[in-house]
Amino acid sequence: RKEVEQDPGPFNVPEGATVAFNCTYSNSASQSFFWYRQDCRKEPKLLMSVYSSGNEDGRFTAQLNRASQYISLLIRDSKLSDSATYLCVVMASWGKLQFGAGTQVVVTP
């Protein structure tokens, strides 16, 4: 079983709609969680950290469910520029960051 698993998608989303997707992790001792964004043929960049109480950053909302070992990302009012692959990142042991394979989101006009 992979340490970090994501639905690869693609999630096809009309512009202005809401999309949400999850990421599951296998190590219950995982300490920190993040969402990164990767555009085609580009390097990943941090989108947001995921805090235990859940957190928002503009149109983006991240949640953590430790009991069920998953994190989620919700994008409201989707923009064409939100089209990308969203990578779930988990720090299972100090400093070691494991990436999921990514969820592709395609926002259509």
Partner 1 sequence: GAGVSQSPSNKVTEKGKDVELRCDPISGHTALYWYRQSLGQGLEFLIYFQGNSAPDKSGLPSDRFSAERTGGSVSTLTIQRTQQEDSAVYLCASSLFPGSSYNSPLHFGNGTRLTVT
Residues of this chain that bind partner 1 (CB under 8 A)? 6, 31-32, 34, 36, 43-46, 48-49, 87, 89, 91, 93-102
CB 39 to partner 1: min, Å: 12
**Residue 25, Ramachandran bin (φ over 0: left; ψ between -120 and 50: alpha; else beta):** beta
Residue among 16 and 61 whose Cβ is closer to partner 1 = 61
Q: Which of 81, 90, 73, 71 is nearest to 108 (CA)?
A: 81
The secondary structure of 18-63 as a DSSP string is: -EEEEEEES-TT--EEEEEEE-TTS--EEEEEE-TT-EEETTEEEE
CB 70 to partner 1: min, Å: 17
